[in-house]
Amino acid sequence: MSDVSIRTRINGEEWTGAVEPRLLLSDFLRGNLGLTGTHVGCEHGVCGACTVRFDGDPVRACLMFAVQIDGHEIETVEGLSPAAGTDLRIADLHPIQRAFHETHGLQCGFCTPGILMTVASFLERNPKPSDREIREAISGHLCRCTGYHNIVAAVARAAELLTEVEA
């Protein structure tokens, strides 16, 4: 089948173009748009590495087709903090990213972008989560490096930082 035209917003920027219907959203973001911060670890919805936000909700980019974002908004890890120049400073990052840095919430960092997107939605819904709620919220992500201990700490810390920002 021929390509299908879509119009969408990605990290706040309008994008129009045509895509093959079977192109997975994850491949579209990475391959067509060069947004390679969204990672791919399983392509069957379990690992969570590809998680992005679709109209604000965390979704698996490997279980959607690019055609399906027509008329919708996508946010990827690249949209989380303002695009900095060559000199990336921790202080310029999103509070959630800063929290992961402070608490050593990442090791190889492959799972991290997906987790950040989930956490961004989760903390909007639940700004003061308990340890149990944090663990449940990130249970849809596999991390093979950290044992989750510091990820849980990072989410708790992010909740603090975000309330400070608001206060």
Partner 1 sequence: MSDRRRWIGERVPRIEDARLLTGRAPFVDDWEPPGTLHVAFVRSNLPHAKILDIDTAAAAAHPGVAAIYTAEDLGALCCPGPVLVPPPPIEGAIFHARTPLPLAREIVRHQGEPLAMIVADSRYIAEDAAALVSVDLDALDAVVDLSTALNEGAPLVHSDLGSNLAAHVRQTKGDYEAAKSAADRVVARRFRYDRGVAAAIENRGVLAEWDARADRLRVWDTTQAPIPIRAAIASTLGLSEAQVRVIAPFIGGGFGPKVMFYAEEILIPWVAMQLGRPVKWIEDRYENFFATTQEREQLHESELALTEDGRILGVRDHFLHDSGAYDPYGLTVPINSQCTLLGPYRIPNYESEFRVVFTNKPMVTPVRGAGRQHGVFVMERLLDIAAKELGLDRLDIRAKNLLDPDEFPHNHEIIYQDSAPLTYDSGNYAPALAEAARLIGYHDFENERRAAAADGKRIGLGIVNYVEGTGIGPYEGARITVEPSGKVRAATGVGTQGQGHFTAFAQVVAEAVGVNPADVRIVTGDTSEFHWGTGTFASRGAVVAGNAFGAAAQAVREKILAHASEALEVSEEDLELVDGTARVRGAPDVSIALGELARRANPLRGAVKPGTEPGLEATSYFGPERGTTANGVHALIVAVDPETAMVDILRYVVVHDCGTVINPMIVEGQIHGGVALGIGNAFYEELTFDEFGGTTNASFMDYLLPTATDVPAIETAHMVTPSPLNPMGTKGVGEAGAIPVAAAFVQAVEDALREVAPTLELVDIPLSPGRLFEALQDAGEEA
Partner 2 sequence: MKPARFDYVAPTNLDDALSALAAGGGEARALAGGQSLVPMLNFRLGGPATLVDLNAVDELAFVEPTEEGGLRLGAMARQQTLEHDPLVRIRAPLLAEAAPWIAHAQIRSRGTIGGSLAHADPAAELPALLMVLGAQARVARAARGSESGARIERASSLCDLYLGPFFTSLEADEILTEVEIPGLRVGEGTAFAELARRRGDYAIVGVAVRVRLGADGLCEDAAISLINAGPTPCLAEDAAAALLGEVPTPAAIANAAEIASLQCSPAADMHGSVAYRRHLVRVLTNRVLLRARGRARERVV
Looking from the CA of 106 toward its CB, the CA atoms found within 13 Å total: 18
CA–CA dist 21, 144 (Å, integer):
33
When asked if residue 118 is in the footprint of partner 1 (CB under 8 A), the reply is: no
Q: Within 10 A of 111 (CB to CB), how many other CB atoms are there?
A: 24
For partner 1, which stretch binds (CB under 8 A), given 65-73, 105-113, 121-129, 157-165? 105-113
Q: Binds 90, which of partner 2, ligand FAD, partner 1, none (CB < 5 to 8 A, cut-off by type)?
A: partner 1
Which run of H or of E encompasses 97?
A: helix 95-102
For residues 4 and 19, the answer to whether their CB atoms sit within 8 Å is yes
Q: Which of 33, 49, 67, 74 binds partner 2 (CB under 8 A)?
A: 67
When asked if residue 80 is in the footprint of ligand FES (CB under 6 A), the reply is: no
- In the bound state with ligand FAD, the residue whose beta carbon lies nearer, of 7 and 22, is 22
Q: Which of 9, 15, 17, 70 binds partner 2 (CB under 8 A)?
A: 70
End-to-end CA distance of the chain: 53
Q: Binds 68, which of ligand FAD, partner 2, partner 1, none (CB < 5 to 8 A, cut-off by type)?
A: partner 2
- In the bound state with ligand FAD, the residue whose beta carbon lies nearer, of 29 and 59, is 59
Location of structure tokens 């079977």: 22
When asked if residue 7 is in the footprint of ligand FES (CB under 6 A), the reply is: no
Q: Which of 5, 32, 130, 139 binds partner 2 (CB under 8 A)?
A: 139
Side by side, the strands of the sheet bearing 4-10 are 13-19, 4-10, 73-75, 51-54, 57-60
Q: Which of 148, 157, 158, 159 binds partner 1 (CB under 8 A)?
A: 148
Site for partner 1 in 32-51 (CB under 8 A): 35-44, 46-47, 49
Location of structure tokens 């965390």: 58
